[in-house]
């Protein structure tokens, strides 16, 4: 069984490849919930929904959030009423968020609701939220503290980052099934997601971090940084803000006690000796995934590296 740690853009692309090579039951995904936020009275869980929609085959691949071909009548009407939503939520997407919110109000946990959404959308792989407790990613900047969405969506990452923390992570418990799945996985992949705000919150939960560290020999990290910059999103400014080099080496350093294997883009192979110095085995391949073909090819490469004993 393969476990993949995921945020909301790079790793879902890889998941599209993996689901074509594995049986659904062979794949589990451990997902960040640190960016969960309330929008217009709805509980929005951006990364969980992106992973869910990707595996259900309905993701909007232009934006990597929301549902392909969705309409925006509700959003537009809210705007007409003078209510500006922080995130642009489509109508069908809103139905999912509305369902999750009403189930939460009835006392169901995020884990239970995710399981039910998977069943109803025909997703047979296991999607595991990292925790059922509240963890909130906070970006410290020269303009004050802000949520990830204020930092990235509202202000387009123009403020200088001075720190990042995960409120609630200290006390958060792993969601049911998370530790068991880590323990019984034959291979674990830290996907090409933002190492600071997508993978960071997952690793900030102590019991998860400890369980992963025990499986270090089985863990492969795939770099989201190619040629000194992220393929998309604010990972670069965030890494820099908390004192990391924006490169595959910087990513490897973040995962140094958790990962034995590291996969970098073939143009970054000159960085291999610095990563090997962190006691990791380095592998290379094409890490850019603009289309399905490249996603399946990278998934094949990932499976080969996970299974190799070199």
Q: Which of 2, 4, 9, 201 lies at the binding interface for ligand GDP (CB under 6 A)?
A: 9
Does residue 194 belong to the site contacting ligand GDP (CB under 6 A)?
yes
Q: Contact between 43 and ligand GDP (CB under 6 A)?
A: no
230 contributes a contact to ligand GDP by CB under 6 A = yes
CB 307 within 8 A of CB 285: no
Report the half-sphere exposure of 295 (CA within 13 A, side-chain side).
19
198 binds ligand GDP (CB under 6 A): yes
Interface with ligand GDP (CB under 6 A), residue total: 22
Under the binding rule (CB under 6 A), the answer on residue 54 touching ligand GDP is: no
One of 114, 140, 185, 193 touching ligand GDP (CB under 6 A)? 193
Q: Is 235 in the site for ligand GDP (CB under 6 A)?
A: yes
State the minimum distance, in angstroms, from the CB of residue 225 to ligand GDP: 6
| Smallest distance, ligand GDP to C-beta of residue 28, A | 18
Q: Are 222 and 40 in contact (CB under 8 A)?
A: no
Query: Alpha-carbon dihedral of residues 267, 270, 275, 279, nearest 10 degrees?
Result: 120
Q: Tell whether residue 287 is a contact of ligand GDP (CB under 6 A).
A: yes
Tell me which of 44, 231, 249, 275 binds ligand GDP, using CB under 6 A: 231
- The C-alpha atoms of residue 38 and residue 28 are separated, in whole angstroms, by 27
β 144-147/136-141 pair status: antiparallel
Q: Which residues pair with 129 in a beta bridge?
A: 31
Phi-psi region of 228 (alpha: psi -120 to 50; beta: other; left: phi over 0): left
| SS3 assignment, position 264 | strand
Q: Which of 102, 162, 232, 308 binds ligand GDP (CB under 6 A)?
A: 232
Residues ≥6 apart with Cβ < 8 Å to 243: none
Pick the closer one to ligand GDP by CB: 13 or 103: 13
Q: Tell which residue, 223, 261, 265, has the closest CA to residue 245.
A: 223
Task: Establish if 137 lies at the interface with ligand GDP (CB under 6 A).
Answer: no
233 binds ligand GDP (CB under 6 A): yes
Binding site for ligand GDP (CB under 6 A): 7-10, 13, 192-194, 197-198, 223-224, 226, 230-235, 287-289
């Amino acid at each position: 069984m393969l476990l993949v740690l995921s945020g909301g853009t790079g790793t879902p692309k890889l998941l599209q490849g993996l689901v074509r090579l594995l049986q659904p039951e062979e794949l589990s995904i451990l997902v960040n919930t640190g960016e969960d936020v309330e929008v217009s009275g709805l509980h929005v869980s951006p990364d969980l929904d992106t992973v869910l929609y990707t595996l259900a085959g309905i993701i909007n691949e232009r934006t990597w959030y929301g549902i392909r071909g969705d309409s925006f009548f509700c959003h537009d009407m809210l705007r007409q009423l003078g209510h500006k939503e922080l995130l642009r939520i489509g109508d069908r997407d809103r139905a999912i968020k509305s369902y999750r919110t009403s189930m939460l109000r009835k006392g169901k946990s995020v884990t239970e609701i995710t399981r039910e959404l998977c069943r109803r959308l025909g997703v047979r792989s296991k999607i595991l939220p990292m925790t059922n407790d509240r963890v909130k990613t906070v970006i410290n900047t020269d303009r004050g503290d802000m949520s990830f969405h204020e930092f990235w969506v509202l202000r387009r990452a123009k403020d200088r980052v001075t720190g990042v923390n995960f409120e609630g992570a200290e006390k958060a418990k792993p969601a049911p099934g998370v530790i068991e799945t880590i323990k019984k996985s034959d291979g674990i992949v830290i996907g090409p997601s933002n190492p600071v705000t997508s993978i960071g919150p997952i690793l900030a939960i102590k019991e998860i971090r400890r369980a992963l560290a025990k499986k270090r020999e089985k863990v492969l990290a795939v770099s989201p940084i190619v040629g000194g910059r992220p393929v998309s999103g604010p990972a670069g400014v965030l890494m820099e803000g908390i004192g990391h080099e924006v490169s595959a080496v910087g990513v490897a350093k973040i995962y140094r006690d958790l990962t034995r294997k590291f996969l970098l883009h073939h143009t970054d192979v000159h960085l291999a000796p610095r990563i090997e110095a962190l006691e990791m085995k380095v592998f290379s391949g094409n890490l850019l995934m603009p289309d399905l073909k490249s996603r399946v090819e990278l998934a094949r490469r990932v499976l080969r590296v996970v299974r190799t004993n070199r």
